Structure 1
């Protein structure tokens, strides 16, 4: 294996796995750190963790464990994959994990870029934009776990690491890979935020990063990496999975709430509200039985407006309510799979982590792209297809589109 990725959530893992697979690298996605060696034909391994919102020390420990396993498989370069909206708090976990990985790998200068222009994420003058607005005005300022109120990635990182934080501007990126390499060589022991406003900038980033032991960023940085290892883009073959299906949504992003509204207009739906979950009034068995009876893939969702989410957090506690909702989705996924559901579309990074854990999946095979950053997935060795979507990804009809791709109809 040549390239190893440590992703801080499961949707991010499938996101970058898609990019590498489309770049021609035989890629496998793992749920947690594997306990075994992998097949020789796999050239890129993506370890999906659930480390974005846990304590920084715990995130560092599990990320180093993943790094050591990837190195044992022969990886020459490690990517720490973070969300393209740089989800984190002042305590981490992006800075602490990056610093720990750099120390483990002996990397002085770490290039950092969360940009993904195809999906509306760009970095200009060190500031992160979501489409045409700053990160802090994109809706991410209301995120229930990692509210992003500062769009300057340099300041965000500086609050999380003891290393200096520097910057390579878009004008230097446009000057080509050599200019990026020269600027990085002057940075010393630092994290260097690199601007990118076009996909071409990420290709430049990739060429400039060929000799780096560690990179930190969103899935977009994978655009230019497979070519460094001699791979060229290939078309994926995909045989869909038919049978019962369900949509599970725990994301509260504006994009997902729009997708929920669109899907509810033509399909049966049930809201799983925090009061019912926290008071244990919700009957898991009754919900599963209801879902199985539906002729059209039903939607089970806890996606609510930020004000409703904030009220629930105030009433029950942020961590308590989040943990309880994730546990419900994990148990739902396990029960629905047991009852014969073959396709599951999931919205939300934390929700996706809960679902994959509930399904006890350990290896995911990468299929075709459903939307930018979202591949179709199969659980290895099982007739079960998944779509794991980060909150803000996908268009209004994403749920219907994903169900069609998973079945092989598109």
Structure 2
């Protein structure tokens, strides 16, 4: 739930909450017979659009196509499949991604360039295109039938099916809708994401789709998304792997009639950032095999970038993650991870706290009760505070512990 002090509130509707957006999920049988595995998001009108993408030099075919389709800063629909990444397949993969856009466009009477395409799943396997195309045709019919013909509760349920359809090893469906009151009217925002493994802060760390009925020019939308991504999805890590398919996309169709400016723009920007942070934390909580949620806050840094580098480094450390799983207050691993982060700081000024218990001061260990520490680390949520004495900047990263179950999930993922 959102903090009551925020100028926005949580509402129903998921990705379809904003005016003029509709979404659905269908069971195309891409990998499993009875799973929602193909999602479609449609805006009634062309929307300003922006995206951020993986920095992995190995990029999936739909991601490359979507980058091209976003070159004009516009889009009207997003088609997403799970169960197959459509990555590393050469010309076959390029053709499959293009065909997904083409068929979606035909079914919705749009131009292929206005369709964004995304996939997630196993790398290096041919996409079962016939099943995907059949699923697209079904989804297009369903999403068009939603316009003004279903109740809000039904529309919300269809949106939930869309959020379910992009899941792979996720155990929890990740979706949220918010609304912000402005002088000219109400702005709504919908967001859905997937991510559980192959998560690391190197953009985008998963798939995420955002819709809003605010009026926002594409250049402002692009800057807003980058800032939100830097604060959220680039600060979450599960296992140190960056996928070939990672993307975050935002569409703003302007149908609210509200173009936020001044303080209202600040509020809207904060709402987008908070929605992204909520999804990032949900991904960390749902990390493959995770038993604990890990939040690392670095304060007193000389720069924001230094704070972020250290927070990500500590949160990414397999030794720290293993210690948290074992409920071991091994603070030395935390300081060591900060030290190899690449950020410059004085370790002799560093204080470290575990769930509020100070275990190190000025870079050296303090006497503390191992029993008390063990009890604190039995909590599902673990907060690590690293307080430097170099400045006033701070940053937060989110992750999870590393358990035996992570190996079990990934040892035979392909088969």
Structure richer in helix, relative to its length: 1
TM-score by length of 2: 0.23
TM-score by length of 1: 0.23
Structure richer in strand, relative to its length: 2
Higher relative contact order (CA 8 A, sep 6+): 1
